[in-house]
Amino acid sequence: MKFYYIYVLHNLLKKFIYIGYSEDLKQRIITYNKGENISTKPYIPLLPTIIIFLYIKIYKIALNK
């Protein structure tokens, strides 16, 4: 069974919120804050606000949560 994180990242000064999912949340946040993701690069630094931990059997379930 895989473990997925559903998260909300924000930059309040730039009024930006980003929702995503990942198997490796720590690495994902590092990637965003290095500017390696084109869609979030203009909004760094991004901070996590809400993190939901889910055990799921099928990858598609993570996409629908």
Q: Find the distance separating the first CA and the last CA of the chain, reported in whole Å.
A: 16
Q: Where are the domains of the chain?
A: 2-51
pTM above 0.85, yes or no: no
| Site of tokens 């991004």 | 46
Q: Which are the contacts of 29, defined by CB distance < 8 A and separation ≥ 6?
A: 9, 46, 48
Q: Could you report the per-residue pLDDT of 20-65, keeping only the tens digit for each? A: 888 888 999 999 999 999 999 999 999 988 766 666 555 666 566 5
Distance CA 31, CA 7 (A): 14
Q: Are 13 and 63 in contact (CB under 8 A)?
A: no
Which tokens is 35 given? 């500017």
